[in-house]
Structure 1
């Protein structure tokens, strides 16, 4: 799918799946605006994309601490200074907290986990909505996680992470209903833990994937590109995955 005419914002793009998506969107020709908690992390991915032959003027790096409302505002203002609209917002940022024992996380860990995924997603979406509404093809994509599914219990993530992801799920559910009349598609993904191979490595293409293999980042990314590539009358609200 070619995305030469798309302007895309990706949060937490400094590593892991955010980096994967940044590379994938850029490889399809999109102009990408990347944020990470530190500018250095975002710049590293920007340089990586440019090294692949992409136009430096279409790859932008920003710092954004999703737990800090002022940082979110500064990030959005910096993007708005470069463009009058964005077409895709990818809410990828969320701090993961491990530990089935509720007492295993400090109060600070709990607050940071909830703030990055729940509060951060709401603030980023709210702040970018005016730029999205200027687009003829606005999409909001949120990486929720299987931990946001009602009744899910297969992850060793901390209860605070479950709480944060459940908040994201509730937010995107109501947002999908409320923004549809304005032409904004709200797309949520609920994957279990998946294998995030380096998209630049030979293993990215790899052998054909089978039902016995773990879910890969490529499969998750393919869902995103499929959804945003549909005609505007097609609203794919959610992707749910079988929990192995």
Structure 2
């Protein structure tokens, strides 16, 4: 798949799945805007893109739990480009713990603010740049924790709350933006591993999740894939 010339924003791209997403888009020729709470981590991902020899990248700091940081990041992009073709809302802090008392108040606030409020605000502020594209996509890496009736993750209840908020936002956004030709694509993977074998009985890997994103983004514009749901072993 050739994505040459596409301008792609990936949040939470300083490590893990976000970094894998950024590298995958760049390998196919895209220019990737890498954002992360840690500027050094974002810069490392951009360096890996440069070392790969395909596509290009720039690194930015963006703390999704801080509205001022979100607004500053969006303003910086508006100063640097006239459009965004793909926004990947990947950034979210995983919070473990079965009981409400297993996390501090600050951790709970940061989890919900980053995944829920941060996703809404960043999408809002980047929407003018998406509307300037002739093939705009918004991709949301949600989680099976955002599915009704899902109880299999070891995540904290606040993480479930954040992911349900993201799911509700993605659903209404897809409905309201479709008439403009903006596709809103959401993925609901169960807890998965970054690396490992990819057989039928193995845990889902980040690479498989990333390939679903690339597949959806690469479809013709008459193809609106709203959601990916996954069987869990």
TM-score normalised by the chain length of structure 1: 0.93
Q: 2:110 aligns with which of 88, 93, 112?
A: 112
- SS of residue in 1 equivalent to 2:80: coil
Q: 2:82 aligns with which of 81, 84, 94?
A: 84
How far apart, in 1, do the equivalents of 2:108 and 2:207 lie?
A: 30
Q: Indicate the residue corresponding to 2:163 in structure 1.
A: 165
What root-mean-square deviation, in Å, do the aligned CA atoms of Structure 1 and Structure 2 show? 1.1
Deviations 1:37-61 (A, max 9, x none): 0211111111111112246xx3110
How far apart, in 2, do the equivalents of 1:77 and 1:122 lie?
A: 16
Q: 1:185 aligns with which of 183, 186, 203?
A: 183
Q: CA deviation at 1:24?
A: 0.6
How far apart, in 2, do the equivalents of 1:213 and 1:40 lie?
A: 33
Q: CA deviation at 1:243?
A: 2.1
How far apart, in 1, do the equivalents of 2:105 and 2:127 lie?
A: 32
Q: Indicate the residue corresponding to 1:25 in structure 2.
A: 25
Q: Indicate the residue corresponding to 1:14 in structure 2.
A: 14
Q: Indicate the residue corresponding to 1:154 in structure 2.
A: 152
Q: CA deviation at 1:195?
A: 1.7
- SS of residue in 2 equivalent to 1:81: helix
How far apart, in 1, do the equivalents of 2:41 and 2:94 lie?
A: 18
Q: Which runs of 5+ in 1 are unaligned?
A: 198-202
- SS of residue in 2 equivalent to 1:234: coil
Matched, 1:3 2:7: no
- Which residues of 2 match residues 20-99 of structure 1 at below 5 A? 20-54=20-54, 58-99=56-97
How far apart, in 1, do the equivalents of 2:188 and 2:81 lie?
A: 31
Q: Which runs of 5+ in 2 are unaligned?
A: none
How far apart, in 2, do the equivalents of 1:171 and 1:243 lie?
A: 24
Q: Indicate the residue corresponding to 2:100 in structure 1.
A: 102
How far apart, in 1, do the equivalents of 2:214 and 2:130 lie?
A: 18
How far apart, in 2, do the equivalents of 1:210 and 1:42 lie?
A: 31
Could you tell me whether the CA contact under 8 Å between 2:10 and 2:90 is conserved in 1?
yes
Deviations 1:36-87 (A, max 9, x none): 10211111111111112246xx311000000111101111111122210010
Q: Indicate the residue corresponding to 1:225 in structure 2.
A: 214
Q: After TM superposition, which residue ranges in structure 1, 4 or more long, deviate above 6 angstroms? A: none
How far apart, in 2, do the equivalents of 1:216 and 1:75 lie?
A: 30
How far apart, in 2, do the equivalents of 1:107 and 1:128 lie?
A: 30
Matched, 1:238 2:227: yes
Of the structure 1 ranges 161-170 and 215-224, higher mean CA displacement relative to structure 2 is found in: 215-224
